[in-house]
Amino acid sequence: MRLVLLGPPGSGKGTQATRLKTELSVPHISTGDMLRAAVAAGTPTGLKAKAVMDAGKLVSDDILLAMLEERLSQDDVKNGFILDGYPRNLAQADAMDHLLAKIGQPLDAVVKLEVPNEAIIARCEIRFAAEHRKDDDPVVVRDRLKVYAEQTAPVADFFARRGKLQVVDGVGELDEVTARVKRALAAESAAANG
């Protein structure tokens, strides 16, 4: 299964990917986690990304695509992957499409988690209080939601035109949301095989 999870920051993409990776027997690839690891390690890419992330902005497409291509060349993704946090704009979606075609790993499905902004801000406030991640600061989250609406929301249409998009309500108990995602993946699989 090659899956992309879309949704605004704080919508639960990472949580759902973590829950699905064992069941699907594929790795969860989070660009946010890859970037935070690079920042923590103090790599040149990480240092460049840190200033951008601390300001609540998005890291450049070139850096993310290079990181993704390197990650997708590893052995553990031969049976698929769950991408979380990428693509974030139409240029990334197009570049990813070309990359996946080049490596012979076309997407099976794209699931978009829909969560109202007020619920996202409340979730991030709780996470910020517990983990103190700068990108969960309510002021930063509001800016990130604005950027999402302008740049990332159109990516859903990109995948809908390719017949890959399933939209799932991301509000509710974790088990309920996971069950909705699984139903969406089953529907996508049935449509692809039907």
Binding site as annotated, residues for ATP: 10-15, 127, 172
Rounded to the nearest 5 degrees, what angle is found at the Cα of 182, between the Cα atoms of 20 and 97?
A: 75
* Six token digits for residue 65: 């695509």
As annotated, the binding site includes: 10-15, 31, 36, 57-59, 85-88, 92, 127, 133, 144, 172
Distance CA 71, CA 69 (A): 5
As annotated, the binding site for AMP includes: 31, 36, 57-59, 85-88, 92, 133, 144
User: Pairing state of beta strands 109-114 and 81-84?
Assistant: unpaired
Distance CA 112, CA 30 (A): 15
- 3-class SS at 31? helix
